[in-house]
Structures are given as C-alpha cells and as structure tokens.
Amino acid sequence: MKDYIKDSKFLNENAIEFGNGRIEAILIPALGSNLLSLKSKKKGIELLRTPKTLADYNKAPILYGMPILFPPNRIEDGIFTYKETTYTFPINEGEKHNHIHGFLHDKPWKVLKKEVSEEGIVIITEFLSKDFPDLYKYFPRDFKVNMTYSLLEEEMNIKMEIHNMGSESFPWGAGYHTIFNFPLVPESTYLDCQIDMPVNTQWELNERSLPTGKFTRMDMGEIQKRLVGEGRKYDDIFSHDAVNNSINEAILTDTKAGMQVRYQADQYFKYWVLFNKAGFLCPEPYTWLTNAPNLDIPAEITGLQELPPGETIQLNTKLTVKEI
C-alpha cells in the first residue's frame, strides 16, 4: 500500500491518520500533538496504549500515546530559580506537592504541514507560547516548539525543535511519556517479554519521587530480572555513560507476538525513566534529570541547559517496528 494521510475523527477530535503498508498512526493536534496510536498493520497489533473513549482519556491524559513533556517529570514544590528569574508551576501532584510533566501535553497545537512524498510522510505541528498568555505566569519567556513526524516504511522519526523567540535565555528540559502496551498482545505474559536499555546507573529517589543526588551503578539485567521475575512496579530514573559505545535506545520485545520496538534517542537524552503498571510500560527519554534546576549537582551531569535568544535546539528520537 502506498503512503497516505487522511483527516479523520478520533475521540471526537480532529485527527490525522497516516500510514503505509506496514504502519498506521493517529495524531491528535488538539490533544497536545499526541501520537495516540501506532499500529503494526500486518500483525494488527496496537503498540501504544490508546484510549477507547474520550472519558477514558480525560481521566489520565498522560497515560495514553506519546505525551510531549516540557519540562519533563517533577519540579519540587513547583518552583525553581534560574539566573535571578523564578519559574513557578502549578502543583498538579498534590500528595507529593510537586509539579509534574510541564504544559505542552494538554494544549492544542497547530498543523503546519501534511505531506506525502517519495521520502515518505511528513507532518509538522507547532506550539507558540504567545498563543497562551496564561503561561507567562509560570514560564515568563517567549518560545516556539515544532514537532516533525516522519514515517518511512517501519521507521517513525520524531523531531522536536525548541526555539527561543524572546530576548533572554531560558533553561530547558524535554522528554516524552511514551506508553507502550506491554505485553504487546493480551495472550502474552511478561515471561514472553523483554526490555533492554544501555543504562548503568540508577538514581536514588526520596518519598516525593525526587532524586536525592545519590546513585548506584547497576546491571541492566537486574531490571529485566525484577520486571519479569518479581513483577516489580517501576517509577525509577536511570542514566547511561555511552555504555560500551552502545546506541541510546530502549528495546521492547514480545516473542509470542513476534514483534519488537526499538526506541532510539539522540545524545541529548541522557536519562531514561522507567514507569509501569499492569498492561503497560513507559520507557521515557529525558534530556535532564528530574528536578534538575533544584539539584546541587553540576549542570553537565543533570542535563540542565540554557537556550540563548534567537537560537534553536533540535532533539531526535526514532521508533522502529520490526517483526521477529
């Protein structure tokens, strides 16, 4: 089947349905430019956790599809100061008194481009801070974010570009809360599944799920052992030091389903958060360590970075779907 893009409805929202003979995807611009569905057409397998109804989605929007995080994860007490500017975010994790996951994933985005060419499918969406004046209360900077989704055969390349549109620098961190069905099919069990990541460090968290600054070296095999053997629940932070020059990727394999998803991230994504509950698993690539601006740790370790006026940062990830 040839590449295609078509307008449709999903969860009563305008949706962009696109695909080819191997992959079909659904993007919802109005719901945070969320890639809510990614399906293997030949196998008929939905890889992402996709809501059945809008009511299901509204109960926990962050637990479906591929929410865009800016900034990612938790900010202690919802506040930090960077170079004499204080950034104050709403407390949306009340029991731990944190802000969590930023403000891009629940806002409507604009569609700039939908195109099918010889190089595959390209869809570009845009978020402009000036379209949301209320944001200045907690992020007093002008910026723009563009998302580019490019599908060619079984590869989905996802590019995030953050543009500083103002006259002052600002600190930034970004990530994705990508929620995979895991196991990939209902008839599989965790014994049929495996997750591999090139990480060798686990960060200690306090009772508020914030890093203490301490860490332990570990073997990735321990994650697999605990995930499968003990059914452990994760909400943990890991990092890598270019382990054995390995590719920075999470690999999800379901042998009974005969499917594998390779989730690759570029060099900016130093951290992976692993979060799971019954039926799903989230390998979350982050550019900074949770609560980075409030940690007494050098920025070159935490991943805290600054974007000067007029400049742009480009972040690249890739999802590759393969039959095994």
At position 134, the amino acid (one-letter code) is D
Q: Which of 76, 126, 249, 284 is catalytic?
A: 284
Known catalytic membership, residue 163 = no
Residue with tokens 């029991």: 95
List phi, psi (to 5°) of 26: -130, 125
CB 104 within 8 A of CB 145: yes
Active-site entry in 154, 177, 240, 249: 177
Question: In the beta sheet, which residues pair with residue 27?
Answer: 16, 35
* Alpha-carbon distance values, 88 to 69, 147, 163, 173 (Å): 16, 25, 21, 15
Annotated active-site residue 284? The verdict is yes
* 166 vs 171: CA distance, rounded Å: 13
Rounded to the nearest 10 degrees, how much is the dihedral formed by the CA atoms of 66, 67, 73, 76?
Answer: -170
258: phi then psi, degrees, rounded to nearest 5: 70, 35
Catalytic residues: 177, 284
